[in-house]
A and B are shown apart, each in its own frame.
Chain A
Amino acid sequence: MSDRLKSGALRASSILLLLLLWWAGAQLTGDPDILPGPLAIGRTIWADLSTNGPQGESAFFDIGITLARIFIAFIASMLLGTAIGLAMGLNRVFERSLLAVIPWMLTMPTILMVFLAVMWFGYSEAGGLIAVMAVVTPYVAVNIFEGAKAMDKSLVEMAVTFRARRPLLIRKVFLPQLMPYLFSAFRYAFGMTWKIVALAETFGLKYGIGYMFFFWFGQFNMDQVLAWIVMFVVLMLILEHGVFARLEHRAFIWRASIAK
């Protein structure tokens, strides 16, 4: 069996085991109001996706809203964080002043940030966006800053000796060295973003997965609460492994090709 097949089989069987445990737990409690089984949840998800819910839209609408919020907040904080990180790497005044502030921002509990944003900006899209950016941007900036500091100066010197101009230098010398830091920032930023967006949707925003979750929580509908949780987790797993892992693999293809 190939390694790929083996790890695929292993992954499938552990998911199967989890479903089995869930099913056994549901059987043991015997009360669908406390722990509905996986089959019941599957049926609920199907119904949510194929018919219009209490807001007059199917689940796809809320999923779309949540995805849009995640991507806008994610891209905004990545861009700003990268810009700040590079500025810190290139300029000592930036470095000193921001390194004094960033630990404060990183220590701030996420949930308090969400509350603060809601209090300042109300139940608006801006509130959610600001909450995400306040939490994620400092982390991205620190990561990119580390990458800029770790840049191999001897390679930059080589490039300058051979008269490489700035665009070529950035493309072939700077960016590839920054890549591992960018990706690690990427992963963390994405993970934080969807958690905060879900939180903001739960507490304040209209529509979205978190909003629906809270709606059904209010009705004390365990079936629906679990169905929305499962939808959310599956969606994020698909994005994480289907999209980011693939991008990362492509960016580091040169590493994979090196003989062990």
Chain B
Amino acid sequence: MAHVMLRQAAGPGERSSTAVIVDKLTKKFSVPGGESQFTVLDSMSLSVDEGKFVSIVGPSGCGKSTLLNVVAGIETYDGGLVTLAQKTAAPPRIGYVFQSPRLLNWLTVEDNIHFVLEAQNVPRERWRGLVAKHLDMVGLAGQEKNYPLNLSGGMQQRVAIARALAIEPDILLMDEPFSHLDAITARKLRFDIADILARAKPTILFVTHDLAEAVFLSDRIYMMTTKPARIFKQVPVDMPRPRKPEDSAIFDLEKTLVREFFSVVEAKA
């Protein structure tokens, strides 16, 4: 059982470095009650360059969330090597946006953010500024003292995004963050997130089953299939930003990928 490792990042002279390297990652789960195991992730490899937005697209149940949990360091793995670049003396900070907001409903919006700042040992005198900056970034300035249950689902997810960004993460992990929202709210938030991340500039590993979303947001897309999970294609997306989802180049790429994706996934089913 291995754990995510740290590796010295490239020196300041180099133009870019790789923030996350997943090399032949294999993860098995044991079947409850039985001796047998099944393979969730089978010799999976990918890398995320610093400051880039990388998406992993795959059907549900293909082990995408497991991959994020391994990178986050909350799950171990059985084979291969997962390393994160370490730029300073401290290990890289990891922000996580889950499918559902996972806010602490008994705490105000600002206290929800304080919670992770305290967890990450951010000095108390910086809290006020960090909260204000990131709530403003997600369009929730003035909601500091409000409680999560007073906010709509979309706004709650914005708080979750502000929470993940407030710790100024080196790596931001996002697990289908828009999949629980209605189409209109999701579309609005997708627009905003592209803009927010252009300013905050963390390295992003983003998991989704929505190819349109992936094409719109990503610098690179890894396409996964299931049983066992493996990557069957990687696609660079070299379109200029800011992008528009209606842009024909984006639309064309999406169409091509959808066709390819379903030809592979459905052949398995």
Binding site for B on A (CB under 8 A): 154-155, 157-165, 168, 172-173, 176, 254, 257-259
Contact = CB atoms under 8 A, between A and B. Distances in A.
B102 A155 contact: yes
A176 B150 contact: no
Given A164-B115, A172-B115, A155 B120 contact: no
A159 B163 CA distance: 12
Given A155-B104, A157-B74, A158-B96, A254 B147 contact: yes
A175 B119 CA distance: 17
B115 A259 contact: no
B34 to A, nearest CB: 19
Contacts of B106: 176, 254
B140 interface: no
Given A157-B102, A162-B96, A173-B104, 8 more contacts: A157-B74, A158-B98, A159-B115, A160-B74, A162-B116, A162-B120, A162-B167, A164-B116
Contacts of B207: none
Interface residues of B, number: 22
A257 B120 contact: no
B96 A154 contact: no
Say whether chain A's binding surface is mostly helix, strand, loop, or mixed: helix
Contacts of B72: 161
Contact of A154 (B102, B105, B118, B147): B102
19 contacts: A154-B98, A158-B96, A159-B115, A161-B72, A161-B94, A162-B95, A162-B96, A162-B115, A164-B116, A164-B119, A168-B118, A172-B104, A172-B115, A176-B104, A176-B107, A254-B107, A254-B108, A257-B150, A258-B150
A258 B116 contact: no
B100 A154 contact: yes
Nearest to B108: A254
Say whether chain B's binding surface is mostly helix, strand, loop, or mixed: loop
Nearest to A155: B102
A250 B86 CA distance: 45
Contacts of B149: 258
A168 B119 contact: yes
Nearest to B116: A162
Contact of B119 (A154, A162, A176, A257): A162
B74 to A, nearest CB: 6
Contacts of A176: 104, 106-107
Nearest to A159: B119
Nearest to A157: B74
A20 to B, nearest CB: 44
A66 B96 CA distance: 54
Contacts of B118: 164, 168
A173 B118 CA distance: 13
Contacts of A165: 119
Contacts of B94: 161
B102 A158 contact: yes
B225 to A, nearest CB: 26
A160 B197 CA distance: 24
Interface string B118-131: 11100000000000
B112 to A, nearest CB: 9
Nearest to B173: A161
Residue of A160, A172, A176 most packed against chain B (CB within 10 A): A172
A114 B73 CA distance: 54
